[in-house]
Amino acid sequence: MVINNLDFEQGPIRPPSESNSLLLRLTRNCPWNRCLFCPVYKDQKFSRRSPDDIKSDIEAIASAVSKISEISHTHGFGGEINRQTAARIQSEYPELFQIAFWLFHGGENVFLQDADSLLLPVPQLVEILELLKEKFPAVKRITTYARSRTLLRRSVEDLIQLKQAGLSRIHVGLESGNDEVLEYMQKGVTGAQHIEAGKRVKSSGVSLSEYVILGLGGVKMWREHALDTARVLNEINPDFIRVRTLAVPQSSPLHKEVQQGRFKPMSDDDIIREEALFIENLEGIDSHFYSDHVLNLLEEVNGKFPQDKKVMQQVVNNYLSMPEEQRERFRLGRRTGYYRTLADMKNDILKASVERIYRQLQKERVSADDYIRQLMLRYI
């Protein structure tokens, strides 16, 4: 079978919750691209893709879907995209595998890339959304990143129009609600602007996911970061609050700030204490709270406010109440991939694996925390 004209463009990142989504690139890179903590898109120029190029990509993807269905029928799978179909496509038609993977996971979700797709004119976005729905009628959820400053350029009526055309959810990098932290990190937005932008999305009926970076205030501003971020989110009441833990790779401008002593990162334990204060001060919301990122130490801190708040607080308290030696072992087990929850420490097989690593580090006179910091940078 000859496969032709199936090239389509994709950007470098998407939220973890969009891991099974089709990635469709509307813009390239980030129009702001100044945030100190962010290593992505640096030295890359922002550009808007033309509507014709985006439509060509949609047509190419639709063609790929047809080819995959044909392959499934040819090999006796009746058009079904099951494991056997996906495995055959991966080995024989690797150029189709990304689309096959999407179809295997239902073919229902699409994520619009890159960092700020809503900068495109609303009529263009509506046209793209409508074409997506036409070509892929099984699609149920279409999501995108957007900056709060960009959302302030969109009226509630604009957002309602996008929702009616098929836009389901907007992912916003809140990062912090504290103005001093936001200014230092060069986020280009204030807490008040975050609130106004978030309220516009909520008023439109589009689902809103706000991202928070634990540790972003550093040793100096951790308390203000926790309290003001909770205050801003209480005002917005987003559908989702998703937390990330700060890591500082060499490729981020914040690394220079650390080297020159202007920013002091927090320890894992101090970040968990910050998270405890943050959760304690989230009030009057009905948001879902997710720790859905590998950098988070306590991945199991998940739930819905207000009913699961005490459960989430108990997880944090359980960790902080452990002796230092146990906390160190858990940090090592979590960062090496053996532990995902505190209960995993009771698994003798997993525990033995972590102990082997710990003894080897002692033998080599390597600090467990230094080793953990290096591991975390691999996940950026």
Q: What digits encode the pLDDT tens for the residues 136-163? A: 999 999 999 999 999 999 999 999 999 9
> Is the pLDDT at 322 greater than 60, yes or no?
yes
Tell me what pLDDT residue 6 has.
65
Domain ranges of the chain: 1-145, 167-191+200-321, 329-380
Query: What pLDDT does residue 352 have?
Result: 98
Three-state SS for 171? Answer: strand
H-state helical runs in 75-178 = 83-92, 97-104, 122-135, 148-151, 156-165
pLDDT the model gives residue 1: 42
81 phi-psi bin (left φ>0, alpha ψ -120 to 50, beta other): beta
pLDDT in tens, 203-220: 999 999 999 999 999 999
Report pLDDT digits (tens) over 251-308: 999 999 999 999 999 999 999 999 999 999 999 999 999 999 989 999 999 999 999 9
pLDDT at 2 over 60: no
Read off the pLDDT of each residue in 236-253 and give the average, rounded to a whole number. 96
- What does the pLDDT average to over 220-226? 98
Element (H, E) at 169: strand 167-175
> Once rounded to an integer, what is the mean pLDDT over residues 328-350?
96
Distance of CA 173 to the CA centre of its chain: 9
Tell me: the pLDDT tens digits for 285-296?
Answer: 999 999 999 899
CA of residue 49 relative to chain centroid, distance: 23
* pLDDT at residue number 380: 66
Q: Look at strands 47-48 and 288-290 and give their pairing.
A: unpaired
Average pLDDT over residues 177-186: 98
167-191+200-321 — its CATH code? 3.30.750.200
Query: Per-residue pLDDT tens for 39-71?
Result: 999 889 999 999 999 999 999 999 999 999 999
pLDDT value of residue 8: 85
Q: pLDDT digit string (tens) for 82-130?
A: 988 888 899 999 889 999 999 999 999 999 999 999 999 999 999 999 9
